């Protein structure tokens, strides 16, 4: 009994949010500076217009939209780890659920922000709601993003309820932190009735969030697939996008697992076993995404229709070829080969492979969006040379990097004030294992 209570206290102490160390402070300041720089660039864009970007008549979707697709993609990890693993009763999921859920919330939040950044007249954003046309896939995207964001926040909140009394107890009374914990967790006493309601809510969300998550990325893919253009005119796009989204989500979790384990010394909770299992999942997802890539590129390339040829050749051997083959190689093939071996699924190597997957996925989104815009069915004709190519400007890079930094800042601040591994659930699990072994 004594050993049991010591164990509980140790788990609580291990998993409670900790103040930033030196590295944490530098990291946070760096993210804030990138955000401020991005805000200034956005101010420039607001005052001077979209002319400050590299986008012109043909490449009217650039890195803002590819960044949007990336955010939507990585947000799917919330449904993969939290919901699908919960429904399929994957017992090792507990330390990864909150990590994946906060990634999902921050990513989907910035997906909705970056889409406004891409608008030439953001002051008219409200028109989307007041004059909504249900015929437009853009409207479908607005609806599913809002729904997914709300559900993801609820999915983060319900499992957090059981940890809030611990946070209230361990924080200093009178501080703003204590007040915030008290507000969020007021009323939770862990009674049987409350636990039943909470479990019921989690079960409802787990079931609901899977189709919503699938539809959010399918609808995003339809923004492209419902447009008659080379490279987008595909019936396969929904499945292609969803498989890619699960892959980048898996890669993102591998990276986050390693960073949190290393920064907060969570080796006892995020173990080699977790890296091993997540590594296997990433292999499966990468192979699946590779399969869809073969379908998306090999089949049109086999036919090489005149209208598609310019787009395909720009990817295979043209101006985007280095980026294209790098994204395929580093974002899919190398992670599959490395993670296939047990040594490749060790934390450090898996972390590097996770970075490969995430960075490769970001550029892959760019390759889906922009080369198509530069390969219209009607030839580009009688336009300035700058219209024929696209390269993001300094302002565009600043805003895009700020959005990525903003998403990371949300994750960073969340980890600062909330336990990144569920404390109560971990204790319950340990108790269950102990009682089972006894």
Partner 1 sequence: MKKIISRITWGGLLYALAALPLHAQDKKEKGTLRLEVAYDQKNDDLPVIRVVARAKVKKKFKPVAGVAVNVFLDHENAEGFLGQVETRADGTNHVPLTPAAAKYWRDHHHFTFIAAVTNNENYEDASAQIDISKARIELLVNEKDSTRTLTAKVLAHNDTAWVPVPGAEVKFVAKRYFSDLPVGGNAVATDDQGLATADYKLTLPGDAEGKIFVAAKLDENETYGTIQTTVPVKWGTPVPPDHLFAQRTLWATRDKTPLWLLIFPNLIIVTVWGFIFYLVYLIVKIRNLGKTTS
Which residues contact partner 1 (rule: CB under 8 A)? 131-135, 140, 143, 147, 150-151, 154, 157-158, 161, 186-189, 191, 193-194, 197-198, 200-201, 204-205, 208, 212, 381-382
Nearer to partner 1, 108 or 339 (CB): 108
Nearer to partner 1, 157 or 325 (CB): 157
Nearest approach, Cβ of 194 to partner 1 (angstroms)?
5
Nearest approach, Cβ of 189 to partner 1 (angstroms)?
5
Residue (of 338, 323, 330, 336) closest to 355 by Cα position: 330
Nearer to partner 1, 211 or 342 (CB): 211
Nearest approach, Cβ of 387 to partner 1 (angstroms)?
15
Nearer to partner 1, 208 or 349 (CB): 208
State the CB neighbour count (10 A cutoff) for residue 193. Answer: 8
Nearer to partner 1, 191 or 343 (CB): 191
Nearer to partner 1, 142 or 407 (CB): 142
Nearer to partner 1, 44 or 226 (CB): 226
Tokens of 433: 């294992």
Nearest approach, Cβ of 229 to partner 1 (angstroms)?
17
Nearest approach, Cβ of 134 to partner 1 (angstroms)?
5
Nearest approach, Cβ of 214 to partner 1 (angstroms)?
13
Give the separation between CA 261 and CA 268, rounded to whole angstroms.
Answer: 9
Nearer to partner 1, 24 or 137 (CB): 137
Nearest approach, Cβ of 427 to partner 1 (angstroms)?
20
* 3-state secondary structure string across the chain: CHHHHHHHHHHHHHHCCCCCCHHHHHHHHHHHHHHHHHHHHHHHHHHHCHHHCCCCCCCCCCHHHHHHHHHHHHHCHHHHHHHHHHHCCCHHHHHHHHHHHHHHHHHHHHHHHHHHHCCCCHHHCCHHHHCCCCCCHHHHHHHHHHHHHHHHHHHHHHHHHCCHHHHHHHCCCCCHHHHHHHHHHCCCCCCHHHHHHHHHHHHHHHHHHHHHHHHHHHHHHHHHHCCCCCCCCCCCHHHHHHHHHHHHHHHHHHHHHHHHHHHCCCCCCCCHHHHHHHHHHHHHHHHHHHHHHHHHHHHHHHHCCHHHHHHHHHHHCCCCHHHHHHHHHHHHHHHHHHHHCHHHHCHHHHHHHHHHHHHHHHHHHHHHHHHHHCCCCCCCCCCCHHHHCCCCCHHHHHHHHHHHHHHHHHHHHHHHHCCCCCHHHHHHHHHHHHHHHC
State the CB neighbour count (10 A cutoff) for residue 281. Answer: 20
Nearest approach, Cβ of 381 to partner 1 (angstroms)?
7
Nearer to partner 1, 205 or 423 (CB): 205
With contact defined as beta carbons under 8 Å apart, do 69 and 363 qualify?
no
Nearest approach, Cβ of 206 to partner 1 (angstroms)?
12
Nearer to partner 1, 139 or 352 (CB): 139
Nearest approach, Cβ of 157 to partner 1 (angstroms)?
8
Nearer to partner 1, 149 or 285 (CB): 149
Report how far apart, in Å, the C-alpha atoms of 30 and of each of 24, 99, 154, 262 are.
10, 21, 30, 19
Nearest approach, Cβ of 360 to partner 1 (angstroms)?
33
């Amino acid at each position: 009994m004594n050993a049991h209570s010591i164990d509980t206290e140790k788990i609580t102490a291990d998993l409670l949010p900790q103040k930033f160390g030196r590295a944490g402070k530098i990291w946070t300041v760096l993210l804030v500076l990138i955000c401020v720089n991005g805000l200034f660039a956005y101010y420039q864009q607001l005052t001077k217009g979209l002319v400050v970007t590299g986008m012109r008549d043909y490449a009217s979707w650039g890195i803002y939209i590819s960044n949007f697709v990336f955010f939507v993609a990585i947000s799917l990890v919330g449904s993969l780890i939290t919901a699908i693993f919960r429904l399929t009763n994957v017992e090792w999921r507990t330390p990864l659920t909150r990590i994946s859920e906060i990634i999902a919330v921050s990513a989907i939040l910035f997906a909705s922000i970056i889409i406004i950044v891409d608008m030439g007249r953001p002051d008219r954003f409200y028109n989307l709601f007041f004059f909504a046309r249900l015929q437009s896939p853009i409207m479908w995207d607005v609806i599913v993003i809002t729904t997914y964001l709300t559900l993801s926040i609820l999915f983060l909140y319900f499992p957090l309820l059981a940890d809030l009394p611990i946070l209230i107890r361990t924080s200093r009374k009178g501080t703003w932190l204590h007040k915030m914990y008290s507000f969020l967790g007021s009323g939770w006493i862990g009674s049987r009735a409350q636990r039943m309601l909470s479990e019921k809510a989690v079960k409802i969300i787990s079931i609901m969030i899977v189709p919503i998550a699938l539809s959010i990325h399918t609808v995003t893919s339809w923004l492209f697939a419902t447009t008659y253009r080379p490279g987008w005119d595909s019936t396969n796009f929904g499945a292609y996008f969803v498989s890619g989204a699960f892959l980048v989500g898996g890669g993102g979790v591998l990276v986050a697992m390693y960073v949190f384990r290393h920064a907060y010394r969570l080796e006892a909770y995020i173990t080699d076993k977790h890296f091993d299992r997540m590594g296997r999942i990433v292999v499966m997802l990468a192979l699946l995404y590779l399969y869809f890539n073969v379908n998306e590129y090999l089949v049109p390339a086999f036919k090489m229709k005149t209208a598609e040829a310019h787009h395909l050749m720009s990817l295979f051997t043209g101006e985007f070829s280095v980026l294209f083959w790098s994204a395929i190689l580093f974002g899919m093939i190398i992670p599959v080969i490395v993670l296939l071996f047990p040594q490749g699924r060790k934390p450090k190597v898996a972390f590097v492979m996770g970075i490969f997957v995430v960075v490769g996925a970001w550029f892959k989104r760019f390759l889906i969006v922009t080369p198509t815009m530069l390969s219209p069915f009607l030839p580009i004709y009688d336009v300035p040379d700058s219209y024929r190519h696209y390269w993001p400007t300094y302002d565009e890079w600043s805003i895009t990097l700020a959005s990525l930094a903003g998403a990371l800042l949300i994750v960073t601040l969340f980890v600062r004030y909330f336990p990144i591994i569920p404390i109560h659930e971990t204790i319950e699990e340990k108790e269950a294992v102990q009682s089972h072994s006894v």
